[in-house]
Amino acid sequence: MLSTVLQQIVFYFFAASLVFSAAMVVLSRNPVTSALFLVYSFFNSAILWMLLNAEFLSLVLIFVYVGAVMTLFLFVVMMLNIDIETLRKGFVRYLPFGLVAVALVVGLMITAIWPANFGALPNPQAAADYSNTGALGALLYTHYVYAFELAAMLLLVAIVAAISLSQHGKPQRKTQNISKQIDVDPKDRVHLVNMLSEKKQ
Amino acid sequence: MWNDLLTLIWIVIKIIIVIVPLLLAVAYLTFAERKVIGYIQARIGPNRVGYFGLLQPIADAVKLFLKEPIYPSSANPVLFLLAPILSMAPALAVWAVIPFDKGWVIANINAGLLYILAMTSLGVYGILIAGWASNSKYAFFGAMRSAAQVVSYEIAMGFALVGVLMAAGSTNLQDIIIRQQGGIWHWFWLPLLPMFLVYWISGLAETNRLPFDMAEGESEIVAGFHVEYSSMGFAMFFLAEYANMILVAALATIFFWGGWLSPFQGIPVLDSIFAWVPGIVWFLAKLGFFLLLFIWIRGTLPRYRYDQIMQLGWKVLIPVTIVWIVLIGLAIEFRMPPWFT
């Protein structure tokens, strides 16, 4: 096990790196770089969760968000040809609103995280045979089973909706019809003609 | 504090003990691939450098070291350099949790299987970023193909591994192997046969190997995502690809073929004859067989068409795994002998 000093070094390094990359998501001029910084900040927060012994959440964050969601996101962002100049025009125009929103959020965060309100507990020392995955599963499938099933249903509805929206109308793409292809008989395709061989006159 | 330092040094030593043989194995895997493919095609393969061409990988490495690195003038300089590193690092990081024999593992963590899924899912970033940062059409096509393909097959692979962790009742890799004890019929390949096939096919797709090498597709998009890379950048992509091949073979061994367990376990006479063989020998033998299978498949099958890859991934592999997960659940619930008693 790492000693507290080392653990704190790791924590502060990745916490600072998380704040930096989160800021760079907004400040970076190139949308692809922004998306990559978002990936990096997910990665940093996964490490912070790992320090809290929440290895399941941490690894699933990487697997789902970094490995799948952000890949597709990046895929889309790379294909868009975003005109950065027009985006930057809006930046100054909306600055006052932005500042007000930021002030509100910062005020909210400070009141929430203030030591008196937050009720922070020291990081509990887990038993040696403690399995984060097992503990989470036991809770999800007993105490929170209805909420869990509801969330699953909601996702299923979203999947069905997305597919029915994108499959709307006649398919535009050219695909092969496999059963038709297998059913093809050479006799229908090629017509063999028996000709008498020509002779020199 | 000093104890911490000693632990850290010990960890670094263990990492070196794993990484150095791994990189050597990667070098000689490229050689083995050229030889095996050569024999499949009735050629001899490389045989000029050293005895039987054994120094060929070293010569290749020296050549790549000494070549000039070329940077396309309109490439994104930082990301262009970062991409090979990003594909190499996860390919090596996964080896932290691979048990070579009982207790021979750098980090024996409980969430080993999840860690593997998380790390292998990072590998696609190297390809995506390389394709985008090169500022080249062919590279970008390769990156797009690869992103769509890897994301699709990751789901099938994840579901196949869900079957494994249900059967083993653990995500710790050592526990998964120990759970398969009792002879070759107790290994998970038999109760999870469709899962094994799905895992193997999606392993081929995840490593961008033939018949799923859409990201490279030499005859269609030149060399795909790494078309603009030369010298060590190019070499890093190949190191990552071959390290990933070894990894997929190692995982197939661990999840479905009993890892370090002897295949003669439970057979009266053979069991005692082979009792002295250390586990790592069995592990490496199985690993070697799967690597041969990789090369064999490459020498045999033609490349899939893109829409057929997507069709196979979404409409065949994923439904098969979902059905088999339900069956495995029933088998565990009713304690089906001899695997789930």
pLDDT at residue B111, as a whole number: 82
Q: Tell me the pLDDT tens digit for each residue of B206-224.
A: 888 878 887 777 777 777 7
Chain A residues touching residue B125 (CB < 8 angstroms): 39, 71
Q: What are phi and psi of B67, to 5 degrees?
A: -70, 160
Top pLDDT among A168 and B90 is at: B90
Locus of tokens 């057929």: B308
DSSP A197: P
Q: Tell me the pLDDT tens digit for each residue of A18-33.
A: 999 999 888 887 888 8
Grade residue A2 by pLDDT with cuts at 50, 70 and 90. Answer: low
Burial of A177 (0-12, 13-18, 19+ CB in 10 A): exposed
Question: CB of B171 within 8 Å of any CB in chain A?
Answer: yes
Asked whether the beta carbons of residue B128 and residue A132 sit closer than 8 angstroms, the reply is no
* CB burial string B280-314: b at 16+ within 10 A, e below: bebbbebbbebbeebbebbeeeebbeeeebeebbe
Supply the ipTM of this predicted assembly: 0.81
The least confident of A127-141, B21-35, B37-51, B324-338 is A127-141
Q: Is the pLDDT of residue A91 over 70?
A: no
How close B232 comes to chain A (CA, Å)? 24
Grade residue A63 by pLDDT with cuts at 50, 70 and 90. Answer: confident
Grade residue A174 by pLDDT with cuts at 50, 70 and 90. Answer: confident
DSSP A66: I
Q: Is the pLDDT of residue B261 over 60?
A: yes
Please tell me whether the overall predicted TM-score, pTM, comes out greater than 0.90 for this model. no
Question: CB of B129 within 8 Å of any CB in chain A?
Answer: yes
Most confident of A115-119, B139-143, B201-205: B201-205
Best residue of B86, B109, B121 to probe chain A, by most A CBs closer than 10 Å: B121
Q: Do A49 and A10 form a contact (C-beta atoms < 8 A)?
A: no
Q: What is the 3-state secondary structure (H, E, C) of chain B?
A: CHHHHHHHHHHHHHHHHHHHHHHHHHHHHHHHHHHHHHHHCCCCCCCCCCHHHCCHHHHHHHHHHHCCCCCCCCCCHHHHHHHHHHHHHHHHHHHHHCCCCCCCCCCCCCCHHHHHHHHHHHHHHHHHHHHHHCCCHHHHHHHHHHHHHHHHHHHHHHHHHHHHHHHHCCCCHHHHHHHCCCCHHHCCCCCCHHHHHHHHHHHHHHCCCCCCCCCCCHHHHCCHHHCCCCHHHHHHHHHHHHHHHHHHHHHHHHHHCCCCCCCCCCCHHHHHHCCCCCHHHHHHHHHHHHHHHHHHHHHHCCCCCHHHHHHHHHHHHHHHHHHHHHHHHHHHHCCCCCCCC
Residues 266-325 of B with CB under 8 A from A: 307
Residue B76 is which amino acid?
Answer: N
Q: Tell me the pLDDT tens digit for each residue of B149-160.
A: 888 888 898 899
Rounded CA-CA distance B15/B119 in Å is 17
The mean pLDDT value for B73-80 works out to 83
Asked whether the beta carbons of residue B1 and residue A3 sit closer than 8 angstroms, the reply is yes
Nearest residue in chain A measured CA to CA from B171: A133
Question: CB of A175 within 8 Å of any CB in chain B?
Answer: yes
Element holding A165 (H helix, E strand): helix A145-166
Helix then strand then coil, in percent of chain A rounded to 5, is 75, 0, 25
Q: Is the pLDDT of residue B189 over 60?
A: yes
Top pLDDT among A107 and B148 is at: A107
pLDDT at residue B107, as a whole number: 82
Rounded CA-CA distance B215/A103 in Å is 46
The helix-helix angle for B279-300 and B2-40 (nearest 10°) equals 40
Q: Considering only CA atoms, give the Rg of chain A.
A: 29
Q: Of how many residues is chain B composed?
A: 341
Q: Is the pLDDT of residue A13 over 90?
A: yes
Question: CB of A63 within 8 Å of any CB in chain B?
Answer: yes
Q: Tell me the pLDDT tens digit for each residue of B287-317.
A: 999 999 989 998 898 888 888 888 888 889 9
Asked whether the beta carbons of residue A67 and residue B121 sit closer than 8 angstroms, the reply is yes
pLDDT at residue A138, as a whole number: 86
The mean pLDDT value for B54-67 works out to 87
Nearest to B158 by CA among B123, B206, B124, B100: B206
pLDDT at residue B289, as a whole number: 92
Q: Is the pLDDT of residue A179 over 90?
A: no
pLDDT at residue B293, as a whole number: 92
Top pLDDT among A14 and B338 is at: A14
Q: Is the pLDDT of residue A1 over 60?
A: no
Question: Rounded mean pLDDT of chain B?
Answer: 86
Take residue B266 and report the two structure tokens written for it.
């439970």
Grade residue A86 by pLDDT with cuts at 50, 70 and 90. Answer: low
Q: Is the pLDDT of residue B281 over 60?
A: yes
pLDDT at residue B319, as a whole number: 92
